[in-house]
Chains A and B, each alone.
Chain A
Amino acid sequence: MTASAPGTRTLNPARLTRIGAVLAIGVVTPLLFPAYQSQATELLLFIVFALAWDLVGGQMGYTSFGNVLFVGVGMYVAAIVQVGLYYDVGLYNEAKGGGTQFVFDTSQFLIGLGLGLIAAAVAAGLTAFLLGPLVLGIRGHYFAICTLGLGIAAGQLAAGIPWIGGGSGMLTPNPPASLGDVGLLLYYLALSLALACTATFAWLLSTRFGLVLNAIRDDEDKAEAMGLPTRRAKIAAWVIAAAFLGVAGALYGNQVRFIDPTETAFAGATIGVWMILMALLGGKGTLLGPIVGAILFQITKELFWTYLLGWQRVALGVLIIVVAVFFPEGIVGYARARSRRSEETP
């Protein structure tokens, strides 16, 4: 669905009930299913990845293969802030974040995390703001490959900087035992992020901004010829998506604890392409699509990892091919087409 028709954005009782139900499920899940907590956290972060990709790729038509750039920037900047507030980052990485030397108490950990998340958003957004004018003038598949290059180059560059751990990567701070279940904290942070992301994008797409993005996607030259502020809209969309990707990356880094420059932070061939797959699977260019796609993807990924161990990456590669070739409209797109066909039959 493209920008929703104005006037349908009221909070009627049905809508409120739906939102309430989602909230309730979200809040209660880790308490009911503690064994799946980390997968659920990962799912929430994937939802943010997919939504953020879709804002620029699905709604605006600029299909980026290098959004991992912002994920990685957020991940590293947050870790640097979390560590750097209390210790020398270089020394920390030389010692591979040794547990006994570099201890973080509860307040240090929490303050570090909080400031780290903010720094992640700012750093990622700033990166997008600086690169946007250069790269958003490029269109179509050239943009796709250019961003692919950016994402991978960033990973290679990061792997060459010893200060942040170089090729051996970096550990996020050890959560103190006195904090309790850090996983639960990360879960609720991820939940808040996913909700904030969905709400923000729902709002954005209900304004004229959403119309401008769709217009750029459908015919950028026409949009320019109608006087729409395309350049600024493109940069704005990229910066907004980047900020969310950065925060999600920072949370992801704290969840997996170990940040490898090319496998975790700037993982072009995994997370980078997964977010595209998720948006496509659910239905790109819609608000619900990336969310549905992320859920489906996460389930599929868990199934592959469990039953196809050893060949799971191959299976995911095959899934990418199958979805791209046979199912590019995704579930929401397929449902729309079916409902339209049923409308046409007398």
Chain B
Amino acid sequence: MLALLLRQVRRILVTALLGGLLGATLVRLGPGFGVDERELDNRLSEESRQAIRAEHAQDSNIALFYAHYLAGLAHGDLGFSRSLNRPVAELLKERLPLTLGSLAYGILGGASLGLALALLTVIWRAPGIDLAPTLVAGACLALPAAVIALLLLWMGAAGRWAIALVVFPHVYRYAKNLLMATYQSPHVLAAEAKGLSRVRVLFAHVCAPAVPQLAALAGISVSLAFGASIPIEVISDTPGIGQLAWKAALDRDLPLLVNITVLVALMTLVANGLADLALARWRPAQQTVAA
């Protein structure tokens, strides 16, 4: 068990660091790398311009940069952000709690709303009962995250609920389809024929087998939520990781971008790893229930 866990941790770490390298390469090869807005300042002398270019030239060899980065990482030094003029570790320490909080609210809120509505739809099973939630879900999908965030701000609500509204349609649609498909399984028909109550059929024979696949959705929700957090944090001016990522991208701040890529990769891998673990542990139970 411990060995398995250690292997998983190792896999996650190696993949995340590989992600960092690939991310750094993408940034390096992208246009606008190494240029600085300061070069447009009329006041600068030629020496100052050369000094600015030299600063950026340090990062141009991606292999060297990444080697230095890994060496620094071993000592807890995450590098220095040129665009914000502060150590990356400090920036992440300040902003991570805010974003994690928003993500937690967003994912739990969106998942709860989606699951609750999916369950209600499945419980009542009347024709057209799912029309309203479906249309609301459609509305949430159709509106840009930025517009949802603005609407919420205007109403005085926190931007984090915009993340919930972005996650909810995916959860609702998927959970509804899953639960309805499970309802049509032979074992559910058998259970109903045996005279089990609707509630017991729903929870023990419909929801229980669906849990592994719902767990898979939990992993996706992390990347969805983080993706949504970028425009939402930018719009609502929340000083979280999403806003930092956007700023880093616009300024081509390589140290910052690499760290954020590694962080996002870690979060995604851990969330999906846990979801997979849940999937693996539930399967024996599922087979027992089906039998």
B is bound to A: no
